[in-house]
């Protein structure tokens, strides 16, 4: 049984603004989200080991997810001037990735077999080795929730976590499947 109070304290310590218990049964891996990846609007499709198609088939991911029942959803809400404030968005995303890396390290001490799902493509290396050479850090590589076919807003809703905090806010969400 997870101690959610202790877990949310760890999340806050890592810098996240919000967190919520995650019921893994609510995670729906959808083919249509994968189809959006292949439209390549984010320009990461087929360019990174953490993204489709390299990150694996949804059926294999479903089997992986089935090994877990509970975890934690974590979120960083940043401020932006408006919907065109790309600098503000990038700052919030960078902060979220920092929080995520800090909590990931911490949680691995107790749950070495955890499954971490991030936000956005893996940016650990300046340039990804895909597809010419193996990933440099396969143990630390993290795929995004979307790359796994998840609709982030639906996942938040199903687990009682907010998603939209107003026009001058932007939220980045990730999760850890723990046990």
C-alpha dihedral over 104, 108, 111, 113, to 10 degrees?
Answer: 90
Size of the site for ligand SF4 (CB under 6 A): 13
Shortest distance (Å) from residue 93 CB to ligand SF4: 15
Applying CB under 6 A, which of residues 27, 122, 156, 175 lies at the interface with ligand SF4?
122
Kind of pairing, strands 169-177 and 18-23?
A: unpaired
Min CB(51)–ligand SF4 separation in Å: 8
Q: How far is the CB of 112 from ligand SF4 (least distance, A)?
A: 19
Which residues in 127-156 contact ligand SF4 (CB under 6 A)? Answer: 128-130, 135-137, 141
User: Per rule CB under 6 A, is residue 100 in the interface with ligand SF4?
Assistant: no
Q: Angle of helix 86-110 relative to helix 4-14, nearest 10 degrees?
A: 130
Separation between Cα atoms, residue 90 and residue 80, nearest integer Å: 10
Q: Is the peptide bond before 162 cis (omega within 30 degrees of 0)?
A: no
Q: Tell me how far apart the alpha carbons of residues 61 and 48 are, in angstroms, rounded to a whole number.
A: 17
Return the number of the residue (27 or 128) whose C-beta is nearest ligand SF4: 128
Site for ligand SF4 in 9-38 (CB under 6 A): none
| Residues 6 or more apart in contact with residue 150 via CB below 8 angstroms | 27, 28, 29, 30, 33, 117
Residue closer to ligand SF4 by CB (options 56, 167) is 56
x/- map, 39-68, ligand SF4, by CB under 6 A = ---------xxx------------------
């Amino acid at each position: 049984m997870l101690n959610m109070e202790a877990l949310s304290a760890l999340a806050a310590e890592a810098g996240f603004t919000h967190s919520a218990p995650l019921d893994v049964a609510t995670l729906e891996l959808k083919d249509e989200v994968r189809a959006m990846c292949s439209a390549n609007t984010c320009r990461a499709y087929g360019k990174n080991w953490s993204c489709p198609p390299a990150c694996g088939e949804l059926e294999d991911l479903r089997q992986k997810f089935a090994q877990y029942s509970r975890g934690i959803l974590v979120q960083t809400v940043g401020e932006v001037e408006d919907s065109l404030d790309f600098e503000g968005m990038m700052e919030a995303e960078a902060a979220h990735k920092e929080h995520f890396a800090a909590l990931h390290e911490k949680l691995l001490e107790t749950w070495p077999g955890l499954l971490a799902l991030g936000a956005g493509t893996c940016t650990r290396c300046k340039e990804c080795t895909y597809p010419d050479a193996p990933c440099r850090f396969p143990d630390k590589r993290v795929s995004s929730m979307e790359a796994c076919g998840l609709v982030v807003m639906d996942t938040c809703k199903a687990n009682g976590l907010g998603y939209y905090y107003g026009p001058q806010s932007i939220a980045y969400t990730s999760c850890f499947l723990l046990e």
